[in-house]
Every structure is written in structure tokens, then in C-alpha cells.
Structure 1
């Protein structure tokens, strides 16, 4: 099974206003383990940033001035993601931008989903597992024990690496994720997944929660009030 964890950075929040992609970052997973292959590209957007967008990424038009345009890297990008399942946080955002970029190249490029096996939205998965809670990438890193202290700005490759760790922890508590090994310059930075996995797997390191007597009494009183109002509750013996 081949999966690509993907993230983009853009000049603004809406592609419908003509905003463009300025960075793409991808991390490859094979059988749910990092293969060591990554793909990252800065892109000249051919337009200005919207107010506030540069502060999020730290990118500037001056930095991007000598970078290739999307038309020049589109084939290389599609070759890297082809036939893989994409893992994207808030997939509608990134897929919308990439579909827009492909549409500017002509109908022969189709849409992103025409080139991949499918798209999994990790934000929707997180909302199902943690309803009513914040499920941003930073919030999930904190909740799942993924070290994101080196994330001062949004960067597509770094965010993809963090999301890969979050996704594997979110879906299975993978025993050995593999981002702990030293990374080459081409592969980008690593993560703290191995330490996280060790903590998850070692029962001695898991936090132990003890409920106070007054909390137990309050819980029992609440259950009894529900039972009286409902007549019979599903958790009661038949």
C-alpha cells in the first residue's frame, strides 16, 4: 500500500480569488511506514500574496523569484503522487488549490483525483475521533504526543512529516513509525514518533487516572437521575 502525506502553502485562503500554490510537500508511506522518500518544491506564484499570508509561511516574492512556475513542476509532482492514496489535513483546501493549478494548464491534466488512488481527509477522521475538540495539526500533535516544537512557521514538507506521525498515531498507534532516524538534506527534518510509540506501547509509562470518591458519588447521582427520568437505560441489565 502506497500513501502520500501532502500539504501545500498558498498566497491566500481561496483559490476562487486567484490565489496560487507557493509550496508543495509530500512524504511517502509504504505499508504505513515512511519509505524515506519525500518531494518538496517551492513555486513562483505569478501573483502577490494576500495580506497576512506571508506571516504564516515566512515566504516572500523575493525568495520565490527564481523558483519554477507550477507549469514547470506539474509533471514531476503528478509522477510522485500517481496511483497513491493521499493523506491531507482539510483535504478540500489543498485539493481545491491543486485542481485550480491543473485547470490552468489545460483540460488534458484533468483533476488531482484523476491521478491518484483516493484522498483521505485526516481532519474529518480527527473530528470523528475527537468530536467537539480542536483538531488543527498543532492541537493533534499535542494530543497525540507528536513533537512539533520546531514548527515556528507553516512549511509544506515539515507539516507533511508532522501529519504523517499524527495520521499513524490517529489510526492505529503504529509501533514503529520511523521518523526518528537522522534525515538527509533531501529528505528534510525528522520527528519524535519513535519515542511516542515507545510511550504508547509501554504500559508502565502510560498515565494512570484515579477518580476521587466525590466524583464517583456525583457520577452515580447523575446516572440515577437519568434512570428515573428515562425509565430504563441501555446500560441497565435487561
Structure 2
């Protein structure tokens, strides 16, 4: 199963209000394992960079001024993701921006299946923080290089987080050989125990046990067993 872990950086939070994508980062997974293949592009947003957005990702208007515009990279981007399932942290945000960029140049919206790791994290850890930094701390993933948001770095970190949310490096592992096994997975939520049903064992007394019991009862005064 091929999946693409994806992240974007933007000029703001509202694509309907003119905010644009300035960076795309993607990491390829195959059967939940990183292949080492990735896609990365900085984009010229063709507009100014608000100070509050630059404070988040550190990408200035001057740095982006000589970078390609979205139409120049869209072919390579779509070729890379293909029809793979997309793994995104807060997917509504990134998909909204990508679809707006596509619609702006007359292309159809993305139809890839999408997994939102925020929803998985909130299901598994109700009430706990679900930010990427919080999940890195929970799973002891080193994010010390994440002083600013960056689409490729965040995709690489999210790939590790996603693997942990799926149950670790062997997400389909079932420990056999005992009376119980632990299963985890995308829809499993917290780890659940699957118990193996054994056939009933015979518990009828042996003849010498019956004889010993009868002798024991006879030695009891007014034994209830003899009243019937």
C-alpha cells in the first residue's frame, strides 16, 4: 500500500481570502515504511508575506521571489502523489489550500483518499494535546530541529508519528502462542485484547475422589449432604 505523508506552509489560514501555498513537502511510505523518496518545493505566492505567517515558517517574500509559481510545479507534484492515500495532520487545512490552487488554474480537485492524523490522535488519546509537537513528545520522536514549521521536515516527523499511531513498526503484529493477543491499527483506537476461546476441560471427580468424599461426609454430624 502506497501512502504519501503531506504538509504545506502558507501565507495565512484562509485560501478563500487570497492566502497561498508557499511550500509543499511529501514523504512516500510503502506498507507504512518510509521508502526514502520525497517531493519538496518552495513556491512564489505572487503576493506579500504577512509577518505573522513568516514568524511561523520563516519564509520571507525575498526568499520566495525567485521560486516557481504553483502552475510550474503542479505536474511534478501530482505525478508524485498519484492516486496514493494522503496522510495529513489537520487534513482539511492542507486539502483546502491545494484544491484552491488547483481550481485557480482550472484543474480538478484532488480525489485521493485522505487520513487525518489529528482525528486518529484524538480518538486514541481523548482530551490530550494532538499537535505534531505534542505527539512527537508522546512517542519520544526527536523534533529538536523543528525550531520553525517546514513542510518537508514536518512530513518526515509526521511519518514517524503516523507509524506510532498505527501501532509501531509492525502495525499488523498479533502476538500468538498465549491466551491473549494485542491488536492495534488505524481503526482499532487504543490497544484491545483479543482472547482465544478454549474448549471446556472435564471436571468430573475420579472414583477414588468420590470414595474419599463419601468417607469425609460420613464423619460430619448432621451433614447437609446426607439430609437429602
Q: TM-score, normalised by structure 2?
A: 0.73
Secondary structure of 1:19's aligned partner: coil
Higher relative helix content: 1
Secondary structure of 1:52's aligned partner: helix
1:75 aligned residue: 75
1:47 aligned residue: 47
In structure 2, list runs of 5 or more residues that go unmatched: 172-228
1:144 aligned residue: 139
Deviation >4 Å, runs of 4+: none
1:61 aligned residue: 61
Match of 1:121 among 116, 132, 141: 116
1:32 aligned residue: 32
- Deviation per CA, 1:32-85, whole angstroms, max 9, x where unpaired? 111110100000000112340001000001001110000110111001001100
**Cα distance in 2 between the residues matched to 1:84 and 1:40:** 17
Alpha-carbon distance, 1:11 to partner: 0.3
CA contact (8 A) 1:27 1:34 kept: yes
CA contact (8 A) 1:12 1:53 kept: yes
2:157 aligned residue: 162
Query: Is the counterpart of residue 135 in structure 1 residue 133 in structure 2?
Result: no
In structure 1, list runs of 5 or more residues that go unmatched: 177-238
**Cα distance in 2 between the residues matched to 1:133 and 1:104:** 38
Alpha-carbon distance, 1:175 to partner: 4.9
**Cα distance in 1 between the residues matched to 2:39 and 2:31:** 18
1:105 aligned residue: 105
**Cα distance in 1 between the residues matched to 2:76 and 2:170:** 33
- Which protein has the larger Cα radius of gyration, Structure 1 or Structure 2? 2
RMSD, aligned α-carbons? 1.1
CA contact (8 A) 1:4 1:81 kept: yes
Q: TM-score, normalised by structure 1?
A: 0.70
**Cα distance in 2 between the residues matched to 1:159 and 1:80:** 18
How many residues get paired?
A: 171
**Cα distance in 1 between the residues matched to 2:169 and 2:14:** 35
CA pair 153-42 structure 1, distance change in 2 beyond 3 A: same
2:94 aligned residue: 94
